[in-house]
Chains A and B, each alone.
Chain A
Amino acid sequence: MLSFIRRHQIILSAFLLCLISLHIAVNAERGIGGEVIVRGVVSTISKPFQKGFLALYSVFDRVWSNYVYLVGVKEENRALKESLHKLLEENNRLREELLLTARLKEILKYRARLGIESVAAEVIGYSSFGAAGWIKTATLDKGSRDGIKVDMAVVSPRGVVGRIIEVTATTSTVLLITDPRSSIDAVVQRTRIKGLLEGTGSRTLRLKYIRQLDDVKPGDVLVTAGLSGIFPKGLALGRITRVEKGKDNFFKYIEAEPMAPLDNLEEVLIIKKSSRG
């Protein structure tokens, strides 16, 4: 009997343990296998290891997130920067279009208010030559093909810009009112006193032939007199900035600044036919 057990001890012990296992499994709900006790012992042993593994995992995760993962971030960053530049460009373009629309609206409104036949043109260049840069002209994108002729008036919603002095098929040149070759009959809006407004070659204008007794003071607005037939009557020319007693005792020395922003014009109106002149 003993030798039988010894010979088949593996099978016998396995059979016994299988029965025990099944008994424990089937009666698991009743806790026959001392599951609670064994679980407590195992969890006590395994807890420090689990904590250690978690700490290791945390370190690994941190290293991965902060360093290894950042390798891909460099490429992502480059792509995002590129995308940002494209968006900024687009944003800038849209902003420009918005401003252009606003300006064109203003021009159209002004054109309707003028009630005169006119053509809208874009300023495509400026000229400022000579030793002191006294020549003040601008090039427009409209020419004889568009019906533009010499001596047509050029205005902006803020005021008079100048007159056409040269025309090609597709472009035209404007003599700005600040050019020394420019002289326009002007009227002081407040007192209706007439004078001649000339360019100085700088950013200012000079109002000539105003007598010492005439009532003119800084801040007065100058408008076109409409005598030459080029500019319609009543268009804003400039604002008086300086009034002094002239050297000759007859006339005052008067300086004015143009109403139109001549340094940064973008769109203007060319008056084809003056009905108010």
Chain B
Amino acid sequence: MRDFIVFIPVAIIYLSFRVTITPELPIPDISVLIVFFLATRRPSTEGVFLSFVLGYIDDIFSGTIVGSSSFSLVIIYTVLCFVSRKVAFTDPLIRGVALFITYMIKELLVILVLYFTGIHVGMSLYMVATGFVTALFSPLFIALFRKATEVGLLRPERGEP
């Protein structure tokens, strides 16, 4: 529940900033970063629900079809839960690459959902740029999330009490 209490307001504030100040600029995708952090840290049902809610809020702010991002983030969370059992995303470079791929998959899934709702859009340079920026800034965000965990704002990591 702690994750909900922290990440939902953070996402709302961050997305408010994005739509108000930098609607045209590619800035890190906070939803993908949070979902990645949650899935690779401690997989849980709460994480699945949080991914759904984050996707829902993301859709509301971005003005796209509601449900498209929540669908893609839930899938990403689930896949990452299983992948993180085999791969350790401790190295910043590997994590960066993984985040770039994760972001691109998220966008592809959104495009897929949009396609089934009758909206035909393709990949854009803006998406690639956002994916790159998300990967580039991931060490900063992950460090902040870890700090929040250390001070007790978030649930402790896997294996910790």
Contacts and interface: CB of A to CB of B under 8 A. Distances in A.
Interface of A: 9-11, 13-14, 17-18, 20-26, 28, 33, 35, 38-39, 42, 45-46, 49-50, 53-54, 57
B21 interface: yes
A24 B52 CA distance: 12
A28 B65 contact: yes
Interface stretch (B9-17, B92-100, B128-136, B150-158): B9-17
A14 B65 contact: no
B48 A13 contact: yes
Contact of A46 (B12, B47, B68, B71): B12
B61 A10 contact: no
A21 B45 contact: no
Contacts of B9: 45
B66 A28 contact: yes
Contacts of A20: 52, 67
Interface of B: 9, 12-13, 15-17, 19-21, 43-45, 47-49, 51-52, 55-57, 60-61, 65-68, 70-71, 74-75, 77-78, 81, 113, 116-117
B111 to A, nearest CB: 12
A14 B77 contact: yes
Given A33-B67, A46-B15, A53-B17, A13 B117 contact: no
Contacts of B57: 42
A25 B61 contact: no
Contacts of A46: 12-13, 15-16, 61
Contact of A10 (B16, B20, B48, B68): B48
Contact of A54 (B20, B70, B81): B20
Contacts of A50: 16, 19-20
Nearest to B114: A25
A49 B17 contact: yes
Contacts of A54: 20-21
22 contacts: A10-B44, A10-B81, A13-B48, A14-B74, A17-B48, A17-B74, A18-B75, A20-B67, A21-B55, A21-B74, A25-B113, A26-B67, A28-B66, A33-B66, A33-B67, A38-B60, A46-B16, A46-B61, A49-B16, A50-B19, A50-B20, A53-B21
Looking at chain A's contact residues, the main secondary structure is: helix
A10 B78 contact: yes
Contacts of B113: 21-22, 25
A49 B13 contact: yes
| 6 closest cross-chain pairs (CB), A and B | A25-B67, A24-B67, A21-B71, A49-B16, A14-B78, A46-B16
A17 to B, nearest CB: 5
A25 B60 contact: no
A25 B59 CA distance: 10
A26 B55 CA distance: 16
Contact of A21 (B13, B44, B70): B70
B45 A13 contact: yes
A204 B75 CA distance: 109
B71 A35 contact: no
A35 B57 CA distance: 10
A45 B9 CA distance: 9
A54 B16 CA distance: 10
A99 B134 CA distance: 70
B70 A17 contact: yes
Given A14-B48, A46-B15, A57 B74 contact: no
A192 to B, nearest CB: 93
B16 A23 contact: no
